[in-house]
Amino acid sequence: MRIALAQFNTSVGDIRGNTEKIKKLSAEAYDLGADIVVFPEMSVCGYPPEDLLLKKHFLENNRLAVEHIAKNCPDIVVVAGFAELNENGCFNSLAVLQNGEISKIYRKSILPNYGVFDERRYFRPGTETVRIMIKGMAVAFTICEDVWRLKWLDSFFSEIPRIDVIINISASPFHVGKIKQRQEILSQCAKHFQCAVAYCNLIGGQDELVFDGRSMFVDSSGKVVCQAHAFAEDMLLADLTSVENKKPRLKAVAAASKPDKSLPDDHISEVYNALVLGVRDYVRKSNFSKVIIGLSGGIDSSLTAAIAVSALGAKNVVGVTMPSQFNSPDTIKDAQVLADNLDIEFYALPIKVVLEQFNKLLTEMADWDKNTVAYENLQARIRGSILMSLSNRYGYLVLTTSNKSETAVGYATLYGDTAGGFAVLKDVLKTMIYQLAEYVNELHHREVIPVSVIKRPPTAELRKNQKDTDSLPEYDILDKILCGYVEQDKSASELIRDGLPEDRVNQIIGMVDRNEYKRRQSPPGIKITPKAFGKDRRMPITNLYTSENF
């Protein structure tokens, strides 16, 4: 039996587009000799459809699409995920399409409702196993989380007499290092049931999430036999053949599965590719073609521009520098050099005169003072207004450039540097920003991001001689505190016990908590860590909790 895993880039809500793609890929799999072709979780409607699932007409259309696929792919067994409304409620389901009709439906049992997942909001859990026979092979079905609970799965499958291969369809979002976890889980599963596992994962960006693909076949010894591309569409084939008195043999089909498809096991390149795909899909699926970025000559905006060029091509990226009297000639020059290196359109719109007029108007208020944070923020808001004006006039999507460290402590001006449609680096800590910048230069085999940008001490340049370290600790300390507090939910006393400086711990925790209101109004950005800001971390804005002991 030949199995094809067709990981493809779905679009949420594009039932017609996804359906056409499934038909086309099914025909391709058939041409490659596959007996069965497997598509990711909810690939008919895209994942996650969120509250579209509360619309009855959405669920009806989605069902009609499944029936349409069945009718149009009679020669091959098609396995595809969809949202199913039936008399018992709504389910996260998998349809087995054979001979022009829906032959079986498996309903996901383990519904994740943590982190970015809200599946209990929409779905009821399935309770029944589904097994089919193809060419004498026993195929059992699971959906995503079902295989992550091995003990439960063991009891769930206890009634099934024999399983040769477990098919799992997934929409498993990327975060750094998750692939190792997946390989381990699938390997354990294969060994436990002494059978092959065929795992088909989604690829593509959807708002804050990036799905990384890397579908794989695992044999009954737990070995990953072959793995599909990361962050790209791919079709992976393997043959499962019976061997007398032994477990069936699983063999990759060389023709379709090119060697060394997975990325090198390097977190930085992995993150870079996730960011590139996330940007490309957000921009394209939102029907934009060009993006605009405010280039300060600093490392965050330089990296954002490099990622945008990788995602969309240089001709679709526009850079604007908007210096005030506080920007040094060095940073202004670096912005220009970066734009030249990336070969992107570049404009300079100095804000000094607008800033003066604004200041003159505000001087009518008593106690208005140029030497305060209000005046600093005004500069950022003028820049935000310029970028949005260009967006409105020319149809560019504005990419923002704040990193996770700044986003965490509120070191950003609301409606200023946070103004824009997509926050590319929102989940990337500053210490990783440096690694990514070095990676960009390695990737291009030349100095795309000027070394002077990488070496300069971070500064917002909103007043004379300003440095980030005027109000923040060094970034290596800051990022350790943030990792512990935000990603691991540790208390102040735990962080201090971990050896972090008490004064900084208390300062930073206070800043993180007080700035939830800014994050609530910031644009979506790509999740790359186990816990990102956004729907992954749902904190109240009105929050009087301090982690001191009661």
Site for a copy of itself in 403-442 (CB under 8 A): 414-415, 419, 421
How many CB atoms within 10 Å of residue 549? 7
Looking at residues 92 to 121 of the shown chain, list those that interact with a copy of itself (rule: CB under 8 A).
113-114, 118, 120-121
Reply yes or no on whether 200 is catalytic.
Answer: no
Q: Which is nearer to a copy of itself, 14 or 474 (CB)?
A: 14
Looking at residues 499 to 528 of the shown chain, list those that interact with a copy of itself (rule: CB under 8 A).
517, 520-524
From the list 57, 124, 48, the residue with the least C-alpha distance to 90 is 124
Decide: is 151 part of the binding site for a copy of itself (CB under 8 A).
no
Decide: is 289 part of the binding site for a copy of itself (CB under 8 A).
no
Q: Which is nearer to a copy of itself, 30 or 368 (CB)?
A: 368
Residue in 144, 195, 226, 483 annotated catalytic? 144
Q: Which is nearer to a copy of itself, 130 or 387 (CB)?
A: 387
Closest approach of Cβ 246 to a copy of itself, in Å?
43
Q: Which is nearer to a copy of itself, 266 or 489 (CB)?
A: 489
Is 31:162 a contact under the CB 8 Å cutoff?
no
Q: Identify the residue among 11, 72, 441, 466 touching a copy of itself (CB under 8 A).
A: 11
Q: Which is nearer to a copy of itself, 31 or 114 (CB)?
A: 114
DSSP assigned state of 297: S
Sign of CA dihedral 99, 104, 110, 115: positive
Q: Identify the residue among 30, 152, 157, 368 touching a copy of itself (CB under 8 A).
A: 368
Looking at residues 30 to 69 of the shown chain, list those that interact with a copy of itself (rule: CB under 8 A).
46, 48-52, 54-58, 60-62, 64-65, 68
Identity at 220, one-letter amino acid code:
S
What is the SS3 string spanning 471-530? CCCCHHHHHHHHHHHHHCCCCHHHHHHCCCCHHHHHHHHHHHHHCHHHHHCCCCECCCCC
Looking at residues 451 to 490 of the shown chain, list those that interact with a copy of itself (rule: CB under 8 A).
489
Element containing residue 81 per DSSP (H, E): strand 77-86
Decide: is 13 part of the binding site for a copy of itself (CB under 8 A).
yes
User: Which strand ranges, in their side-by-side order, compose the sheet holding 317-321?
Assistant: 345-348, 317-321, 291-294, 397-400, 422-423
Decide: is 498 part of the binding site for a copy of itself (CB under 8 A).
no
Residue in 73, 84, 108, 461 annotated catalytic? 108
Instruction: Give the x-and-dash track for 191-210 against a copy of itself (CB under 8 A).
Output: --------------xxx---
Closest approach of Cβ 109 to a copy of itself, in Å?
15
Q: Which is nearer to a copy of itself, 280 or 430 (CB)?
A: 280
**Tokens 């829906």 — which residue?**
102
CA distance to 300, 301, 314, 476, per residue, from 433 (Å): 7, 10, 21, 12
DSSP assigned state of 187: H
Decide: is 152 part of the binding site for a copy of itself (CB under 8 A).
no
**Tokens 């090198």 — which residue?**
264
Greatest CA separation for the chain = 91
Closest approach of Cβ 343 to a copy of itself, in Å?
19
Looking at residues 295 to 354 of the shown chain, list those that interact with a copy of itself (rule: CB under 8 A).
347, 349-351, 353-354
Decide: is 247 part of the binding site for a copy of itself (CB under 8 A).
no
Is 40:202 a contact under the CB 8 Å cutoff?
yes
* Cα(33)–Cα(419) distance, integer angstroms: 51
Reply yes or no on whether 108 is catalytic.
Answer: yes
Reply yes or no on whether 41 is catalytic.
Answer: yes
Residue-wise DSSP of 124-168: PPP----EEEETTEEEEEEEGGGGG-HHHHHHHTTT-S--SEEEE
User: Catalytic amino acids?
Assistant: 41, 108, 144
